[in-house]
Amino acid sequence: MKSFDLSLYLVTDRSLSLGRTLEYIVTEAAKGGVTMVQLREKDCSTLEFYQQAMLLKECLRPYNIPLIINDRLDIALACDAEGLHIGQSDMPYAIARKLLGKDKIIGLSVECLQDAIDANELDVDYIGISPVFGTPTKTDTAPALGLNGIREIVKISRHPAVGIGGINRTNAANIILAGADGISVVSAITSATDPKEAALQLRSIINQTIKKTINQ
Amino acid sequence: MKSFDLSLYLVTDRSLSLGRTLEYIVTEAAKGGVTMVQLREKDCSTLEFYQQAMLLKECLRPYNIPLIINDRLDIALACDAEGLHIGQSDMPYAIARKLLGKDKIIGLSVECLQDAIDANELDVDYIGISPVFGTPTKTDTAPALGLNGIREIVKISRHPAVGIGGINRTNAANIILAGADGISVVSAITSATDPKEAALQLRSIINQTIKKTINQ
């Protein structure tokens, strides 16, 4: 049985790490309470990507936090990652599932309501609602969906959902209140002076907000 | 049993196709006698790469010509290509072999004598000696090895070898005479006004040269 917790999902970005290694960022984030980590690399060789994935796997093992690979099924297979995250321009879901097997986590980005409707036909493990807000970390994204976008998508989707894009401690609570199961962050942790402290603060906000929604 | 013919090996490059589709180039090249085709894509999405690979597989099926995917093991698996070509910065050979299985063709680029010595420890199916000459189609390559480089590498290598880099009909014979089992070309076919005719001419040069080396 696959079991994972979407509540605080870190997506890496080497260019936003202020010169620190991803191993450092990810280890600190793990200490601070992130529940999933996605390795995203767009400009390195396959060998570097593989080596980076193996390093992060080692960092995350003591914390039992799943490592998810962005886009690259070959890397996910090579490092036996816990899962793969695919976007609308990546490998078709059916093929990814066939090659990865049913025990791995597969997440899919949805960029509009129709994507989420289409995703209901697929046995993806979660959807990433993207982008929630405008974000400096990706320049090739669809228009921002906003909190209303999350509400609409969560209402029709049969999958657990995480919001991504421009999320930080000032708006994290609203993402959960809008119905998402978690938040996905890049720069809010990766570019923080103290990534562990940044994760702890987000963790605290999420825990309090989840408690509120349960008590409502 | 894997059986393949390295003698005239086309490597694609969409940017050198003069606006024509790769399906057109590859089909014409197949009619002209190419024996292997490698799909190389460096700037497209995984979805586009996969779709392009599926199209080329269809084009090549009637000719029984193997489709080899450059670098991307995920694409090779997804389209059930006949093989994978890896460079020194791609997936480590041992992992690629484990994931692809023993029945698929795996080629490895060697850029110097030491790479070829190291490759003797691996059960790769062929080596690509790269680059033989300076070439406009790749800008991130190692120094040109020249015909002497081919001779030295072929002498110590236990694998079939194909030369790549700056090869065209003016120098194709010399590559075979230097000991390679075949030539790999990009622009000599891809950028030709008539890709079928260009392949036929190269085919004829190779056949005549092989005949000469046998009669020696």
Residue ranges of A for the binding site?
A: 38-42, 70-71, 90, 109, 135-138, 166, 186-187
- The pLDDT of residue A215 is 78
Contacts of A20 (CB under 8 A, 6+ apart): none
Q: Note the pLDDT tens digit of each residue in B189-206.
A: 999 999 999 999 999 999
Q: How many CB atoms lie within 10 A of CB B16?
A: 16
> Is there a binding annotation on residue B138?
yes
Q: What percent of chain B has pLDDT over 70?
A: 97
Cβ-defined contacts of A61-69 (< 8 Å, 24+): A63/A30, A63/A31, A65/A30, A65/A34, A65/A35, A65/A36, A65/A37, A66/A4, A66/A36, A66/A37, A66/A105, A67/A37, A67/A38, A67/A39, A68/A36, A68/A37, A68/A38, A68/A39, A68/A105, A68/A107, A69/A38, A69/A39
Eight-state DSSP code of residue B133: S
Per-residue pLDDT of chain A (216 residues; tens, 9 = 90+): 689 999 999 999 999 999 999 999 999 999 999 999 999 998 899 999 999 999 999 999 999 999 999 999 999 999 999 999 999 999 999 999 999 999 999 999 999 999 999 999 999 999 999 999 987 666 667 889 999 999 999 999 999 999 999 999 999 999 999 999 999 999 999 999 999 999 999 999 999 998 888 877
Most B CBs within 10 A among A43, A74, A106, hence the mutation to make, goes to A74
- Name the CATH superfamily for A8-215: Aldolase class I (3.20.20.70)
Query: Using 50, 70 and 90 to split pLDDT, how confident is the model at B143?
Result: confident
- CB-nearest to B73 from A74, A90, A92 is A74
Over range B6-35, report the average pLDDT.
Answer: 97
Confidence of residue B179 (pLDDT cuts 50, 70, 90): very high
- All structural domains of chain B with their residue ranges: 8-215
- From the list A46, A71, A91, which residue is nearest B91 (CB)? A46
Round to whole Å and give the CA distance between A71 and A142: 17
CA distance linking residue B151 with residue A79, whole number of Å: 38
| DSSP assignment string, A115-173 | HHHHHTTS--SEEEE--SS--SS-SSPPPP-HHHHHHHHHHH-SS-EEEESS--TTTHH
Q: Does B122 touch chain A (CB under 8 A)?
A: no
Position B214, amino acid: I
- Residues B125, B103: contact at Cβ < 8 Å? no
Place of tokens 């003591």: A62
CA–CA gap between residue B28 and residue B22 (Å, rounded): 10
pLDDT at residue B134 is higher than 90: no
Residues 6+ apart with CB under 8 A from B25: B10, B12, B17, B189, B190, B195
The whole-chain average pLDDT of chain B stands at 95
